[in-house]
């Protein structure tokens, strides 16, 4: 069999090679595993290695691989697989290089080399170095929190009080907050300082003052809390007292006191009413006495007053008779006041 030609020279066939002239060698040429076992059984190691190289090169030429033997990639098909692997690796690296900051949030970076960085990242998409930098995202919107506390008043009465706080972190101090408090800063700080401020403020007032001066109490709590939270770079948007309750015994005592005060006020009102009625009776009697004196003096001086009274009585009698209609009325002429002059004369004679 003649040898084939190739760019690098004539290619020897399997039967041109002396190591493949033997039938056993020819059979092993088609089975690489057999080649290893046959040639390792005879000859020195150098000859065995040279024979193995020649056989592998011949198999690579027959497969069209360009003279180079590649395990598992016959025909030179490794280039597309390598390109696909590089593309997938690049896509993964790109996805790890981006991070998003949602609305109402801010982000900082932690570097394995330099630690927490000072830059603060706004909403949007940003870059980072994969496996070196880690983004820490904070929610900077105001969050409500209710803190309940059992404390004592100035007059040693126990009171249950609940405070509602709206808090958010200072954006320019996020790196410092992460170094000192972490991401759960509100859970670490607010419960302790709210309890402390409530106890210190409530202790300045009596139990009754907590109700009557509630606005003043809330203002003091708000000012003290804002000042304490500012030390931890926390901003308080609103502080309010949502619940205030005393012990059942104190509540019953307050109600009994209120009832007693109302009864006392009612008794004082009745006394004052009787005094006023008495004064009104005295004034009325004095007025009637003075009126009688004036009438007597007027009668003594002139008869015109008597005539005026007689006319008024006659008009009044006429009105009664008109309203009576067909009914018959029997009136005593002596009591109608129509003969006032005779009455006065009789009185003077007596």
Q: What does DSSP assign to residue 206?
A: -
Look at residue 118 in the predicted model and tell me its pLDDT.
Answer: 92
pLDDT tens track for 252-288: 877 788 888 888 888 888 888 888 988 888 888 888 8
First to last CA, the chain: 189
State the average pLDDT over residues 41-68. Answer: 64
Taken in order 310, 313, 315, 321, is the CA torsion positive or negative? negative
State the average pLDDT over residues 99-114. Answer: 93
Q: Pick from 193, 263, 301: which is nearest to 185 by CA?
A: 193
Verdict on whether the full-model pTM lies above 0.85: no
What is the C-alpha to C-alpha distance for residues 39 and 42, in angstroms, rounded to an integer?
A: 6
**Greater pLDDT, 195 or 59:** 195
Instruction: Report the percentage of the chain scoring pLDDT > 70.
Output: 73
Most confident of the following: 39-43, 58-62, 64-68, 84-88: 84-88
Give CA 320 to chain center in angstroms: 81
When the pLDDT of each residue in the chain is averaged and rounded to a whole number, the result is 77
Look at residue 170 in the predicted model and tell me its pLDDT.
Answer: 94
Look at residue 16 in the predicted model and tell me its pLDDT.
Answer: 44
**Greater pLDDT, 72 or 87:** 87
State the average pLDDT over residues 127-146. Answer: 92
């Amino acid at each position: 069999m003649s040898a084939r030609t190739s760019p690098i020279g004539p290619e020897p066939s399997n039967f041109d090679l002396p190591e493949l002239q033997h039938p056993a060698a020819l059979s092993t040429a088609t089975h690489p595993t057999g080649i290893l076992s046959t040639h390792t059984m005879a000859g020195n190691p150098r000859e065995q290695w040279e024979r193995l190289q020649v056989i592998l090169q011949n198999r690579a030429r027959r497969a069209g691989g360009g003279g180079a033997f590649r395990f598992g990639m016959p025909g030179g098909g490794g280039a597309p697989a390598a390109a696909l692997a590089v593309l997938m690796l690049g896509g993964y690296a790109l996805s790890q290089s981006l991070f998003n900051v949602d609305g109402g949030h801010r982000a900082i970076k932690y570097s394995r080399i330099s630690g927490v960085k000072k830059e603060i990242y706004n909403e949007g998409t940003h870059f980072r170095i994969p496996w070196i930098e880690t983004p820490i995202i904070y929610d900077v919107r105001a969050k409500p929190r209710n803190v309940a506390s059992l404390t004592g008043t100035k007059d040693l009465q126990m009171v249950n009080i609940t405070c509602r706080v709206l808090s958010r972190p200072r954006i320019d101090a996020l790196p410092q907050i992460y170094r000192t408090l972490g991401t759960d800063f509100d859970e670490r700080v607010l419960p302790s300082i709210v309890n402390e401020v409530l106890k210190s403020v409530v202790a300045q007032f009596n139990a009754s003052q907590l109700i009557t001066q509630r606005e003043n109490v809330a203002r003091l709590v708000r000012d003290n809390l804002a000042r304490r939270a500012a030390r931890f770079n926390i901003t308080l948007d609103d502080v309010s007292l949502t619940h205030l309750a005393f012990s059942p015994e104190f509540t019953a005592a307050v109600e009994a006191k209120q009832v007693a005060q109302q009864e006392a006020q009612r008794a004082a009102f009745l006394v004052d009413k009787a005094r006023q009625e008495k004064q009104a009776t005295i004034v009325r009697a004095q007025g009637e006495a003075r009126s009688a004196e004036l009438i007597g003096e007027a009668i003594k001086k002139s008869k015109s007053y008597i005539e005026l009274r007689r006319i008024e009585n006659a008009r009044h009698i006429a009105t009664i008779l008109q309203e009576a209609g067909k009914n018959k009325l029997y009136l005593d002429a002596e009591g109608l006041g129509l003969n006032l002059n005779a009455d006065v004369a009789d009185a003077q004679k007596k």
